[in-house]
Amino acid sequence: MAAALTPERKKIILIGVGLILALLLVKQLVLKKSVPEGIQIPVAVHHVVAPPKHASPHAKPVIHIDPSLPAALRTALRSHPVVVAVLYASHAPGDPDALKAARAGAHSAHAGFAVLDVSKEKIAQAIALKLPGTGDPSVLVVRRPGKITVLLPGVVDSDVVAEAVHNAR
């Protein structure tokens, strides 16, 4: 048996369909989720900074020097890549002549110069560790970072010292 559509049932159906349509319309218009069209991501711009053409006059290169060397020799090596070092004893006869000749040879070769007085305990120990059995007077030609390139025992002429410096470079 089919249910007959009475006018009362027709009103209920029409009201129900109207409510459903009204809810769908509200859902579409009012409760519509807002979807962004697209999130704009800014493009990162990297500016390349060119290095300065001229190095800063305050920036000095790092100089590595052997810390086991005597202080006078380390100081001279900070200023000069090649140094003439004289081993001498302050009260030994003949040592001042070796000192003068070595200083003149270093000056003519444009090298640094260091005096190492082996009568002082600290200097004598440092030299004994580097060059065991070396006596005074002796002339050393030392290149950074502390490599002894030439050892000239005894009193040496200034020209010989200058030639040794030239060969050490």
Instruction: Please answer whether residues 88 and 117 qualify as being in contact, where contact means their C-beta atoms are separated by less than 8 angstroms.
Output: yes
State yes or no: pLDDT of 122 exceeds 90.
Answer: no
CA dist list (Å): 99 to 52, 86, 92, 102, 138: 46, 6, 12, 5, 9
Please report the domains of the chain, with CATH numbers, ordered by start residue. Answer: 71-168 (3.40.30.10)
Residue 8 pLDDT greater than 60, yes or no:
yes
How far apart CA 4 and CA 21 sit, in angstroms, is 24
Q: How far apart are the first and last CA of the chain?
A: 121
Dihedral sign for Cα atoms in the order 122, 127, 129, 133:
negative
The pLDDT tens digits of the residues spanning 54-67 come to 666 676 777 778 88
pTM (predicted TM-score): 0.59
